[in-house]
Amino acid sequence: MIQHLDVVADGFLFDMDGTLVDSTAIVEAAWGAFGAEHGLDPREILAFSHGRQTIDTITRFLPDLPYEERVEVVHALVADEVRRTDGIAEIPGAGALLRALLELGAPVALVTSAPRDLALSRMAAAGVPVPDVVVSAEDVPNGKPAPDCYLLGAERLGLAATDCAAFEDAEAGIASAVAAGTHVVVVGTQESATTVGLDRVPDHRAVVVSREAGRFRLRA
């Protein structure tokens, strides 16, 4: 697994869970309780859910549940997760990287499958700054791996997706960012046919930010 980063872009799009924030314990506890309640294997749920909107996971595992009831389940799960903040931490170097980009005036967006309230709660708990532009689950009809969220993130920055770099850790999110046409940087260890040839960093600690001829360069 090659870990390398050298990218020049006009703007930056960041996933949250697994990319900027480590909320693994909370996610596993929430989906574990859900699996136990419904007689489902939490390992299968976690394998599918990472990077996806909660409603898509509920639909996948409870397809016969009426839509209104699925929405109620989502609201209950999200409310529970918003209250859980113990153990949330930043992915090493995430806060410093975002601050460096924002201080240089780089356009930055948070692009997450989480609902907005949950995203803001987790970012605050991890001590990672929230950029002005946030694309959350409520903002797009089709969640990751569809490209909608990254296309919208770039649009809200006033940029083309092809001029942006996207940081992602999960297969669904990586596929979304690739489909949107961004320059994708994989954070962590996810490997698949989708990640072949993409830039990669284990975390953000070694990333150096500079401004060159009006654009922004990230190297590690």
Q: Kindly list the catalytic residues.
A: 15, 17
Which tokens belong to 190? Answer: 């996810």
Q: Are strands 89-90 and 21-22 parallel, antiparallel or unpaired?
A: antiparallel
What is the C-alpha separation between 101 and 16, in angstroms, rounded? 16
Which residue is associated with the tokens 């689950």? Answer: 137
What is the C-alpha separation between 63 and 182, in angstroms, rounded? 32
What is the C-alpha separation between 46 and 124, in angstroms, rounded? 24
Of 208, 171, 164, 209, the residue nearest 188 (C-alpha): 171
Burial 10-31 (b: 16+ CB within 10 A, else e): bbbbbbbbbbbbbbeebbeebb
Which tokens belong to 95? Answer: 């806060």
100 half-sphere exposure, CB direction, 13 A CA radius: 17
